Structure 1
Amino acid sequence: MSHSCSLRMAAGFLLLLPSLLVGTNVRASDAPKDPLAGTVLHAGLLPLHVDVDEGRVLMDVADLPADLLMVSTIEHALGSNDVGLDRAQNGEPRLVRFQRVGKRVLLIQENTKFLAHTSDRDEARAATEAFAEAVLWSTELIKSERAPAAQLVDVSGLVKLDLHGVADRLKLTGQGPHSLDADRSSLLPDACQTFPNNVELSGLLTFSGSGEGPFVQQVAADPKSLSITQRLSLIRLPEAGFRSRAYHPASGGFSIGRYDFAQAIDAPLEQRFQPRFRLEKTDPALARSPVKKPIVFYLDRGTPEPIRSALLEGANWWRDAFDAAGFIDGFRAELAPAGMSMSDVRFNTITWTHRATRGWSYGGGLIDPRTGEIIKGYVNLGSQRVRQDLLIAEGLLAPYRAGADPALKQEALNMALHRLKQLAAHEVGHALGFAHNFAASRNGDGSVLDYPHPQFRFDGADGIRLDQPYGRGVGTWDKFLVAHAYSQFPIADEASRLATLRAEIRSKGYDYVSDPDARAPGDAHAEGLLWDVPGDPLTGFFAMMKARERALRRFSDGALPPDRQNGEAARRLVPIYLLHRYQTEAVARLLGGTEYRYGTIADSDWTARAVPADTQARALAALTTALDVGILRLPERTLATLNPPANDYAKSPEDFDSQMLPMFDPIEAGRVATAVVLQFALDPQRLNRMAWQHAADSASPGPELVFDQLIRESWLERHAKGTDRALQTTRNWTCLDGALQVLQSGLLHAEVAATWRQQLRQLTETLEQMGRQDADASAAASLIRRYLDDPTRVPLRALPRIPPGAPI
């Protein structure tokens, strides 16, 4: 190598050396900060390292249970009953596991619907591998020199997933498409918590949409930008030792199910268990014993008085049921202690939830999908429905009229508070694992799991009293529910002892009918009724009509507190004018009605039976009375007080619609009252059943008789005069609208549809004869003929919108 070349290389090295030295200094000063720097450790089920200043939360997944339960909860809600994204609303629980794959960690939802419950690993694996799991989230693993054994994940991405299905819910309820805006969504590190059995991760989720949905416009600060707080709970699964209880259809409880491919070939694949808490006696051999750990529910401290006391009293009714089943001090409800977190999965909770409008309450539980054990019970009580109860009570009692007994105001308030007691017991019953029983009202106050109508009595010539509106305490059915779900028996005796309990409750006259057989207008079961009065439906119907008549006659005399704007009277009239709506359904349910029982083939007397023909005939006759003009008519004095809303007030969906704006529309109210009858009596499913029952027993009324008494006789009735004639005419047209809509539905059996068309043709001939002197009859005949000739070219009027009734 030449000397000059060596000098050049040396010079180059000397020039490079400072750069290398500078570079070394830069790398030393810019060395990455340990990821745990600036964090505060929150110990619990899973360690959380929280850095509020930087907005970070790192979770250590190194020492995880094999499986966890994950559930989403709405913490800061939308506030719309119609959409249903409520405060403290829980989503569906998911069985999940964290799985490390190289440098990544996956959060996987396991498929709990299909499995093979067996000790044979190969058999179990064959079932597991046959059905898809779901990867919910994936993230990079973070290492820390401070905690080399830790396996850290940044949960920011996890909490910003819409795991509650908010966007789907908004779309489903007609609020339009919404998308999660990641830039306006964030982890909330100061709201993340960890407890011995659960970890809580909170995030603010912002959803962008058009803002055109009516419900988001009603409640949101900006309907185009909906910010909701979602909390994700990661929950430790219970320890072994819980004994699952096989579900029986007559148990009155809920069930959870799965397909178990390890079952014997002659056993059903679908296996169901009844959800229940782990409630154990200290001495199972004793008929009555203290318990190892009682079931305790804690009431939201945000609940005001006197509501707070009413809810606690009602929830504590269940103490009697558990005591009767032999569990001494096995249940209680109390106010949540100051500082207690309602998110701690160790505590069962009752939350007081506000919405823009009245709405439903509900109870449920976080359930171990492997066993059916209820890990945590929760109840969500809507705050506004008590106001509807008070409104109804004031409408019935008219306590503000001149000369009214001052005690009536307190009686109205007491009715609303009694309803809250019953509501608390009802929803706690759901959280304990019990389903609705809408047949319990046949036995008086047989169950808090029914939907009760307030009970009234008549006082003098025109008075109504509500001094005993609801029963007190749980009913006989409720004590059966607790005994059947929670009683401890030796394994060998359990099936027979439970069968004895079911036989005993049946011998006392209790039936069991739940939601699938009770909510649709055309449902068949004659006993599965919501908001009906106890006892015979027909007796209750005529008593309800009498109460309605008295209340309407006095409505203008003081159903409103004196400080309310007078336009509110029209809204308050609605539940009184439609007071008979639920008992009308009870009567209509007798038409084509059937009685049947839930059970197994081994149970005795489970065959279905039609409602007796004479009972059906009396039911049809009763329904015709609900279409009398005198029922549709409002007292003149009452009608005169129904002013439009005052300035800056507006009508709401709780009002009747009006085609006489701004005034109250008595014609529309009459249409609605007519539709209350028709929606049940003319349901296609009901008419199909009636046709079949009539074919089997000619004494049983068929669809022809329904048409004759509800449609034909309405049009043939002698003309009334004045405004009664207007109500009569609108009733007739509404009946015809209903009759044509039945045919339009396409749900009638072919032979029933043929009979219905024939009835319409015969009515047309009669109306044409009347039409020479009756414009309505002539127009109706023309409509029927044109529709029967070509249904596709004749638009039909829909039945009117009926303002919401439930929940009460």
Structure 2
Amino acid sequence: MLSRSLCSRSCVVVVALAVFTLPSLTFSESPQTFAQKIAGMDHKDGLFPFDWDAKNGKLYLEIPKTDEDVLLLDQLPYGMGSNDIGLDRGQLGQGRVVHFTRVGNKVLLIQPNLEYRSSSSDADQRLDVKESFPESVLWGFKVEAEDNGRLLVDATDFFLRDAHGVTERVAQAKQGSYRLDASRSAITLDNTKNFPKNTEIEAILTFVSEGQPHGEYVASVTPDPHAITVREHTSLIELPGPGYTPRYNDPRSGFFSVEYRDYSAPLGEPLEKHLLVRHRLIKRDPNAAVSEPVQPIVYYVDRGAPEPIRSALVEGANWWSAAFEATGFKNAFKVEVLPEGADPMDIRYNMIQWVHRATRGWSYGEAVADPRTGEIIKGQVTLGSLRSRQDYKIAEALLAPYMEGKPIPPDMEQMVLARTRQLAAHEVGHTLGLEHNFAASSVAPGTSVMDYPHPWITLDAEGRPTLANAYTTGVGAWDKAAITYGYSQFAPGTDEKAALNKLLEDEDAQGLRFISDADSRPLGSANPYGHLWDNGPDAALELERILKVRRAALDRFGEDAIRIGEPMSNLEDTLVPLYLLHRYQTEAASKLIGGLDYRYAVRGDHGMVTRMIAPAEQRKALEAVLHTLEPTTLTLSPEFLVILPPNPPGYPRTRESFEGYTGLTFDPNGAVEAAANLTASLLFEPTRASRLVEFHAINPTAPSLQEVIQEIIQNTWQTPRLPGLSGQTQYVVERVVLNHLMQLAASQQASPQARAIATQELSDLEAWLNDQLDMEVPEGRQAHWSAAVDDIERFWKDPSKFEAPKELATPPGQPIGEDEEDFSVN
């Protein structure tokens, strides 16, 4: 075990003085020869040869040439195993184009400014742009030896820095303040390697607490939260040579892009340039309609992935071969298990790796790309192992398969493997350059693997849920169209710009929609087709259907949902994904209310630009969404509650559990509150409310905000009273509705008119409640109404200071988290 440093503040000052005074003495010394300096050291050849001084723990880097661009990339080979902190094994950092420049007896590592460029052939114009914007010197080295233009520098401290920003990420996650402790950090040789096209240096780094309390996420994954020890990895990568032709991106294409400003663009043309992010793929015969590639794109699957998962990863990732065949390439895309002896750190290997975390979390696809051109150098997929277990748990909840005396049906494992294939294809798609397409599921099942698919659950003839067709197979029509746009190679003499535009017009004519993250993830997003985890072209109709499936599964839910020998309290863990099964289809349907259909249109494509959702569609969606607040939807049966005990010792409640107000016992009203908050947050979302006001002014037949709020009130507060648990559900839902109505009335994100209307509706609700208080009603109902009136009166005193009551936390969804991205270009 590493001991804590006992260095006092005065000790730190002495070290600082040494750091600043010693270089001024030593930099004036004449460099030694290579032979003198590296005698007895362990030498490794590669892109940047290096020498390891084992006695002093120093690493010397040879710089064969100065002023030659390379790619500098940081990585995190050993992560923290927490999706909330977001520091995962294999995570790539920021890729930077850099070069080494000698200045006297120093070598500076310089990052040029590629955000601002000149494409001019005139050297003076290029110099003008370069001198107009700053560069960044990332590090300074002392020349230790030189030989015929080769320079040797001590790079130890450079490779021991926190290049990946672990301290910043931990602080952003509110997990405490940490600093790098040099006494507990060192270069580690097991993953410090050299290859012809990349040099890889790894360091074991220890971050120590600055005295502030550490967070629960750090404590849950670290043996001693006062000292976080991870590994950070630095790569120096050869940039691609000539032969690659950049392709300008179109917002309709579905590809990620590298952006920069070209100050040599002619007047009247945009400064901003967008280059497609893609692999280099060139036909061996450029005149052939179908040709073998000069060099195929090959991906390798982590040998550490267990079977049958590993085979599913190979199969799913290999679906992309069909897309490249449709593009005019034969044998252009391949997927294999990483061969024995091959090193995943070699930049020549596109990798699909299998990682473990303490909590379930995102899988993602990343690309190491040349920032100058957008050419992908390496694709790297990271798949979280707990995703498969979460999918299995969803299947357990739906099928309740553990009946005594009967074999466990294979459906659950088959569903997990089907999802694994789809997931592998999805993340590899990102590393081919593709964005999410969250509109694909609204066209037809299987239109694109770049959507987030919800399992397709149906009921059999006996009314039992079945997962026989949970996921589609193969890449879809949009995937093939997108790959054709990004990777097609046209015959010599073709007008490429016109040919690419025709591909996009043909795609639109086929009804293939593309809507990505920024228009789909926000709670109040307006596009009625940009949804995560939804199914079908009619969101409202599918919500009604999934509610029926959910009810059928809940009616059968009981002890058969867990294995014999498991604690009965584990039923709650299995219940959560089933109880909230409708959450994403509810979100999809809500986008029709105050929704606006639109495309990423460009002038001249003659397609639809925007279209307000028809009033009838909006009202149908509102009716469907309001069903999610009904007692028949949210109330759990007493028969289930009597078999759900508190957790035994050793089985603590987790963030995956419903919160509640009843202490150790399961609180059914806590589950109701969680589900009701999900729906109410959608219905009362400020930007949606503001759109309802605006769109009703444009089209008086469209639902107004008044109409929507009144429908919500009539379907909650003003419905007939029910007895027992259903009556308790009504109380919970009504308080949730009231809280969200007050939030909307006070929201600075809503338009003034939306706030005014919400305020008027709140006043009308208060008047209705006061009328009810004059009636003879049961004591509990009287208390419920009186408390609501008291809350409204407190709101009137100063709406600007209104703070909504703290909501019970909802267990995380999206099988992978909440508002994260699962792609980055580095």
Match of 2:346 in 1: 344
* Distance in structure 1 (CA, Å) of the matches to 2:684 and 2:505: 37
* Distance in structure 2 (CA, Å) of the matches to 1:524 and 1:515: 12
Structure 1 position 148, deviation (Å): 6.4
Q: 1:435 to 1:491 in 2, by over 3 A?
A: farther
Match of 2:391 in 1: 389
Matched, 1:105 2:113: no
Q: 1:502 to 1:793 in 2, by over 3 A?
A: closer
**Alpha-carbon contact 2:297-2:332 (below 8 Å) kept:** yes
One of 792, 797, 800 as aligned partner of 1:789:
797
Match of 1:549 in 2: 551
**Alpha-carbon contact 2:64-2:150 (below 8 Å) kept:** yes
- 1:167-194 per-position Cα deviation (integer Å, ceiling 9, x unaligned): 1111111112211112211122453211
Match of 2:760 in 1: 758
- 1:74-121 per-position Cα deviation (integer Å, ceiling 9, x unaligned): 011111111111111000100111111111111111211111122211
* Distance in structure 2 (CA, Å) of the matches to 1:560 and 1:201: 47
Match of 2:177 in 1: 177
Match of 1:590 in 2: 592
- Determine helix, strand or coil for the equivalent of 1:285: coil
Match of 1:452 in 2: 453
Match of 2:657 in 1: 655
- 1:783-803 per-position Cα deviation (integer Å, ceiling 9, x unaligned): 213312322565431443221
**Alpha-carbon contact 2:626-2:715 (below 8 Å) kept:** no
Matched, 1:434 2:434: yes
Structure 1 position 402, deviation (Å): 4.3
- After the TM superposition, which residues 56-135 of structure 1 pair with which residues of structure 2 at under 5 Å, given as runs? 56-64=58-66, 66-135=68-137
Structure 1 position 762, deviation (Å): 1.1
Q: 1:794 to 1:444 in 2, by over 3 A?
A: closer
Q: Which moved more, 1:102-111 or 1:796-805?
A: 796-805
Q: Which moved more, 1:603-612 or 1:308-317?
A: 603-612
- 1:102-149 per-position Cα deviation (integer Å, ceiling 9, x unaligned): 1111111121111112221111111111111111111210126xx565
What is the TM-score normalised by the length of structure 1?
0.93
- Determine helix, strand or coil for the equivalent of 1:290: coil
What is the TM-score normalised by the length of structure 2?
0.91
Structure 1 position 663, deviation (Å): 0.6
Q: 1:563 to 1:293 in 2, by over 3 A?
A: farther
**Alpha-carbon contact 2:113-2:135 (below 8 Å) kept:** yes
- After the TM superposition, which residues 632-651 of structure 1 pair with which residues of structure 2 at under 5 Å, given as runs? 632-651=634-653
Match of 1:805 in 2: 813
**Alpha-carbon contact 2:746-2:802 (below 8 Å) kept:** no
AA aligned to 1:351 is Q
**Alpha-carbon contact 1:598-1:606 (below 8 Å) kept:** no
AA aligned to 2:804 is L
Matched, 1:684 2:686: yes
**Alpha-carbon contact 1:203-1:229 (below 8 Å) kept:** yes
- Determine helix, strand or coil for the equivalent of 1:100: strand
**Alpha-carbon contact 1:273-1:372 (below 8 Å) kept:** yes
**Alpha-carbon contact 2:739-2:804 (below 8 Å) kept:** yes
- 1:460-506 per-position Cα deviation (integer Å, ceiling 9, x unaligned): 23311101110010001111111100001246411111112112221
One of 766, 769, 788 as aligned partner of 1:767:
769
* Distance in structure 2 (CA, Å) of the matches to 1:280 and 1:239: 14
Q: 1:422 to 1:371 in 2, by over 3 A?
A: same
**Alpha-carbon contact 1:757-1:788 (below 8 Å) kept:** no
Match of 2:10 in 1: none
Match of 1:413 in 2: 413
* Distance in structure 2 (CA, Å) of the matches to 1:362 and 1:599: 28
**Alpha-carbon contact 2:391-2:815 (below 8 Å) kept:** no
One of 141, 144, 163 as aligned partner of 2:143:
141
* Distance in structure 2 (CA, Å) of the matches to 1:429 and 1:403: 44
AA aligned to 2:553 is A
One of 248, 251, 254 as aligned partner of 1:252:
254
Match of 1:14 in 2: none
- After the TM superposition, which residues 301-450 of structure 1 pair with which residues of structure 2 at under 5 Å, given as runs? 301-402=303-404, 406=407, 409-442=409-442, 443-450=444-451
**Alpha-carbon contact 1:141-1:151 (below 8 Å) kept:** yes
Structure 1 position 53, deviation (Å): 4.6
One of 511, 517, 525 as aligned partner of 2:527:
525
Match of 2:243 in 1: 241
AA aligned to 1:272 is H
- Determine helix, strand or coil for the equivalent of 1:788: helix
AA aligned to 1:649 is Y
- Determine helix, strand or coil for the equivalent of 1:720: coil
**Alpha-carbon contact 1:353-1:380 (below 8 Å) kept:** yes
Structure 1 position 346, deviation (Å): 0.9
- Determine helix, strand or coil for the equivalent of 2:144: coil
- Determine helix, strand or coil for the equivalent of 1:284: coil
Higher RCO, Cα 8 Å, sep 6+ = 2
* Distance in structure 2 (CA, Å) of the matches to 1:475 and 1:747: 39
One of 765, 780, 783 as aligned partner of 2:788:
780
AA aligned to 2:488 is S
AA aligned to 1:567 is S
**Alpha-carbon contact 2:590-2:625 (below 8 Å) kept:** yes
**Alpha-carbon contact 1:300-1:336 (below 8 Å) kept:** yes
AA aligned to 2:340 is A
* Distance in structure 1 (CA, Å) of the matches to 2:495 and 2:404: 66
- Determine helix, strand or coil for the equivalent of 1:321: helix
* Distance in structure 2 (CA, Å) of the matches to 1:702 and 1:508: 34
* Distance in structure 2 (CA, Å) of the matches to 1:263 and 1:280: 28
Structure 1 position 726, deviation (Å): 1.3
Q: How many residue pairs are counted as aligned between the two chains?
A: 774
Match of 1:5 in 2: none
- 1:610-640 per-position Cα deviation (integer Å, ceiling 9, x unaligned): 1100000111111121111111111222222
Structure 1 position 652, deviation (Å): 0.6
Q: Which moved more, 1:485-494 or 1:253-262?
A: 485-494
Can you give the 5+ residue segments of structure 1 that lack an aligned partner in the other structure?
Answer: 1-30
- Determine helix, strand or coil for the equivalent of 1:558: helix
- 1:336-365 per-position Cα deviation (integer Å, ceiling 9, x unaligned): 011211111111111111111100011121
- Determine helix, strand or coil for the equivalent of 2:219: helix
AA aligned to 1:776 is H
**Alpha-carbon contact 1:737-1:798 (below 8 Å) kept:** no
Q: 1:134 to 1:664 in 2, by over 3 A?
A: same
Structure 1 position 573, deviation (Å): 0.6
Match of 1:724 in 2: 726
* Distance in structure 1 (CA, Å) of the matches to 2:191 and 2:756: 65
**Alpha-carbon contact 1:248-1:599 (below 8 Å) kept:** no
One of 213, 216, 224 as aligned partner of 2:215:
213
AA aligned to 2:77 is E
**Alpha-carbon contact 1:363-1:427 (below 8 Å) kept:** yes
Structure 1 position 201, deviation (Å): 1.1
- 1:400-442 per-position Cα deviation (integer Å, ceiling 9, x unaligned): 13476x3x63101110111000000000000000000001002
One of 596, 601, 604 as aligned partner of 1:602:
604
* Distance in structure 2 (CA, Å) of the matches to 1:195 and 1:646: 53
Match of 2:6 in 1: none
Structure 1 position 642, deviation (Å): 2.0
- Determine helix, strand or coil for the equivalent of 1:609: strand
**Alpha-carbon contact 1:198-1:345 (below 8 Å) kept:** yes
Structure 1 position 54, deviation (Å): 3.9
Match of 1:11 in 2: none
* Distance in structure 2 (CA, Å) of the matches to 1:664 and 1:769: 35
